[in-house]
Structure 1
Amino acid sequence: MGTVHCFRSAEEVREVLDKAFTLMSEDPDVGPRLRAADVPQRFELTDVDLVVNIRPARDGEEGNLHWEWSDDVDWEPKVEMTMSSEVANRYWQGRENIAMAITRRRIKASGDLPSALALLPLTKPVFPRYRELVEADYPHLALEAVDRPR
């Protein structure tokens, strides 16, 4: 079963994922491609009672992505995903296969799933940078390469 790599608090989830979204938004290759894809998403992290809505940046906004830790936003998500923070951490480290996680119900997904799945290859270049961030600043979240999805 392996070691459970958990966030220490909802505040830590938000801090780490803010950094992950910033990595994506500012990446010179990934950011513009995600912006152009135009797939607003809503993520609900059930174990820490957090919701984040993400959309492409609009004209005049900095970066390529805009996100708010709220459902009080002026856009509708095309895709909604519900998961635990542990699954989210595994995903960002490249250790969670989204299609398999949906099949095994570790992730509940609704909306325009083909568009969401099309984004997955765009985000992969960020995984090594997220792993570096975790290893440097949040070592309790780091997963070994052998920690594969069950």
Structure 2
Amino acid sequence: MATTASFQSAAEFRTVLDRVFTMMSEDPEIGPRLHAADVPQRFAFPDLDLVVNIRATYDEEYGNLIWVWSDDVDWEPRVRMEMASDTANRYFQGKESIALAVARRRIKTSGDVMAALTLIPIIKPVHAAFARVVEAEYPHLRI
């Protein structure tokens, strides 16, 4: 069984994931590649009763990605994923394979899953950066 490390609250989870999404959006290589891929996604984290919708920015918007912690958005996701917050934590630290997590039903998916899988190599460099943030600021989340 995979090691778990728990978030202290839904607010902490949002704060940490906001950091991850900001790192991805602002990275000079990752951000433009995610923007160009343009795969709107919806992630649900039922253990914390949270949902986030993410898409590439439009021309008039700043950055590469926009994310909203709500389903009240004006776009449709191409991919929907549902997972526990500890699965998300393991993934962003590079300790969880999306393919294995889907196969083992730790991540439930619908929509254009192949489009989401094409993003995995783009996002991979974020894992080390996120692990450094966890080590320095959120040691209770370390895997």
Q: CA RMSD in A?
A: 0.9
Which sits farther off after the overlay, 30-39 or 54-63? 54-63
Q: Please say if 1:37 is aligned against 2:37.
A: yes
User: What is the rounded CA distance, in whole Å, between the counterparts of 2:124 and 2:4 in structure 1?
Assistant: 23
Structure 1 residue 2: Cα displacement: 6.6
Name the TM-score, length of structure 1 as normaliser. Answer: 0.93
Quickly say closer, same or farther: Cα 1:94–1:3, change in 2 above 3 A. Answer: closer
Q: Which residue of 2 aligns with 1:24?
A: 24
User: What is the rounded CA distance, in whole Å, between the counterparts of 1:131 and 1:10 in structure 2?
Assistant: 19
Secondary structure at the counterpart of residue 129 of structure 2: helix
The residue type equivalent to 2:76 in the other structure is E
State the aligned residue count.
Answer: 143
Q: Which residue of 1 aligns with 2:139?
A: 139
Quickly say closer, same or farther: Cα 1:3–1:107, change in 2 above 3 A. Answer: closer
Quickly say closer, same or farther: Cα 1:79–1:3, change in 2 above 3 A. Answer: closer
Name the TM-score, length of structure 2 as normaliser. Answer: 0.98
Structure 1 residue 60: Cα displacement: 1.7
Unaligned runs of 5+ in 2: none
The residue type equivalent to 1:107 in the other structure is I
C-alpha distance after superposition, 1:58-92 (max 9, x if no partner): 11211100000000000000000000000000000
Q: Which residue of 2 aligns with 1:73?
A: 73
The residue type equivalent to 1:15 in the other structure is T
Structure 1 residue 4: Cα displacement: 2.7
Structure 1 residue 3: Cα displacement: 5.0
- Deviant stretches of 4+, over 4 Å: none
Q: Which residue of 2 aligns with 1:98?
A: 98
